[in-house]
Amino acid sequence: MRPAREDESTDVGRLISYSFDQLAANAFLAPDPARRRDVNAEYFTLITEHALDHGSVDVIDDAYGPELAAAAVWFDRTHDIPAIPDYDARLAALAGPFLDRFRTLDTLFDIHHPSEPHWHLAFLAVHPQRQGRGLGGELMNRTHAKLDSGGIPEYLEATNEANIRLYKRHGYTEMKPFDFPLPDDTRFFRMWRPAGRATANSHGPIHL
């Protein structure tokens, strides 16, 4: 396990797209199966690039090949972070005819995002051939340990029952309201992990 390099944002974006390819949310964003993986990979790359500057991106190398085995993309939301530079134009260029779908997702995520300072686990992705080996848990544990030492809570949006069970094992609890739907009734589930230990500067930035 290691921090991702700046030149690996595309590799991380592709891993996320491949790992999430069977999720209903990915099908909503890019309903054309022939284009889905490439479009979503560009989108996830864009988000990962921003996280490298305003959070952290950790990866696990694949011991059996050149690809990444797993990645976790976090944003430091203990303070305001700037918007992605030229986001509207870049999103329009990559999303093409699916632009309104990505804008809908952004709006819903903004509406339902908690206001309390926290770190946001935007993506936790494990290569399909490496799932079931605890890699996602390893990535979470690394960041949880450091955030717990600063008394900082974490937030995420789960996508299905299997993910909910995983996150509960790592200390996340259901928020109220718990879920929110996309227009096709695909649902995300809001989860919160309370700070492991409160400190006097619990809401200050932490560098991982």
The model's confidence at residue 139, banded by pLDDT at 50, 70 and 90, is: very high
Q: What is the pLDDT of residue 202?
A: 37
Q: What is the pLDDT of residue 192?
A: 97
Q: What is the pLDDT of residue 118?
A: 96
Mean pLDDT of 147-162: 94
Task: Render the chain in DSSP notation, one character per residue.
Answer: -EEPPGGGHHHHHHHHHHHTTTSHHHHHH---HHHHHHHHHHHHHHHHHHHHHHEEEEEEE-TTSSSEEEEEEEEEESS--PPPTTHHHHHHHHHGGGHHHHHHHHHHHHHHS--S-EEEEEEEEE-GGGTTSSHHHHHHHHHHHHHHHTT--EEEEE-SHHHHHHHHHTT-EEEEEEEEE-TTS-EEEEEEE--SS--TTTTS----
The model's confidence at residue 113, banded by pLDDT at 50, 70 and 90, is: very high
The model's confidence at residue 172, banded by pLDDT at 50, 70 and 90, is: very high
Q: Is the pLDDT of residue 80 over 70?
A: yes
Q: What is the pLDDT of residue 59?
A: 97
Q: Is the pLDDT of residue 203 over 90?
A: no
pTM of the model: 0.90
Report the C-alpha gap between 42 and 50 in whole angstroms.
13
* Average pLDDT, rounded, for the chain: 91
Q: Is the pLDDT of residue 197 over 90?
A: no
For 4-38, how does the pLDDT look when each residue is reduced to its tens digit (9 = 90+)? 999 999 999 999 999 999 999 999 999 999 999 99
The model's confidence at residue 175, banded by pLDDT at 50, 70 and 90, is: very high
Q: What is the pLDDT of residue 78?
A: 96
Cβ–Cβ < 8 Å for 47, 105: no
